[in-house]
Amino acid sequence: MEKATILHIFTPEKNVSPFDVNMAIDAGFEHIIPYTSVEVSEIAGLVQDAIFSRGPKGVKRTGIFIGGRDIAVADDMLKQAKQAMVPPFEASVMLDPSGSATTAAGLVALVIKALKSYQKTLQGEQVAIFGGTGPVGLCAGVIAARCGADVRIVSHRGMEAACKLVDAYSERYAIKLLPADGSTPKKRLELLQQTTVAFSTAKAGVQVLTAEDLLTADKLLVAADVNAVPPEGIAGVGVMDNGKALNTPLHAKAIGALAIGNVKYQVQHNLLKNMLATDKPVYLELPSAFELACQFAEKS
């Protein structure tokens, strides 16, 4: 008799995400086991408890999902999990804290698709991520920087908050991110006027760019907003927009939250399914999510 499929979800937070639980069940996992308030130092022991109890065949039907809110912590957890594997006892591992990896992958992939209409890529583009100090903004910054963009992480709490994160992530991922001060309307406007691609990854219900702001954005080509809760993070960007023209000097293309969410959903669903379909363990990180997102974005 074939063993049941099990997904162990590890998170440093006090709860696992119901979204992730639903996604895992829909992808085919029969049993979802949550582990909360998990520290990085505990990962190796938990992983080895999970793999040694099922045998080489059963461990192929075992997955580990790393949640939380911080991509850097999740990254450390995944590395610890990988090091804890003892072949042939190896389970697949996926990280997606707060959905940040899959959401950011969908966001950047759709921006790249929109830039193709200008015969451009992200290479050399001036990207500003407003509300960029959260998990989605930082993941999007890493992906965009790896694609050759000049990326500024905009903090509405001033430069100090942005600088600490920018330095840490630049070093961790061997990229160059720049901090930017978005603490006043004047500073945001000055930054916007130098921006060709704007992301809004601010918390729900916060508008970072107004309609009046956009009228001055004479270099803006694409504006993407992950916020589905009114008001829009970027004024005029509808949740279903996927290339609709905005009221800007260059008629920048708008990408809305549900268009991004559709790609994100397909990416997370398929990555979870891949954990069950493979005979060899897979370690699903930012590059895995982005590669798949680019495929789904082209079809959207």
Helix (H) or strand (E) holding 126: strand 126-130
pTM score, two decimals? Answer: 0.95
Q: Break the chain into its structural domains and give their ranges.
A: 6-99+263-299, 103-260
pLDDT digits (tens, 9 = 90+) for 221-273: 999 999 999 999 999 999 999 999 999 999 999 999 999 999 999 999 999 99
User: What is the CATH code of the structural domain delimited by 6-99+263-299?
Assistant: 3.40.50.10280
pLDDT digits (tens, 9 = 90+) for 87-144: 999 999 999 999 999 999 999 999 999 999 999 999 999 999 999 999 999 999 999 9
pLDDT value for 160: 82
Give me the CATH topology for the region 103-260: Rossmann fold (3.40.50)
Buried-state track 43-57, b at ≥16 Cβ within 10 A, e below 16? beebbeebbeebeee
- pLDDT-derived band of residue 157, with 50, 70 and 90 as boundaries? confident
**Half-sphere exposure for 167 (CA within 13 Å, toward CB):** 6
Task: Count the residues in the chain.
Answer: 300
pLDDT value for 159: 82
Alpha helices in 28-178 (DSSP H): 43-52, 55-58, 71-84, 100-115, 135-146, 159-173
CB-based burial of residue 123 (10 Å sphere; 0-12 exposed, 13-18 middle, 19+ buried)?
Answer: exposed
Domains 6-99+263-299 and 103-260 share a fold: yes
Instruction: Tell me the residue type at 104.
Output: A
Strand 150-155 to 177-181 pairing: parallel
Q: Tell me the Cα Rg of the chain.
A: 20
- Distance CA(64)–CA(50), nearest Å, equals 9
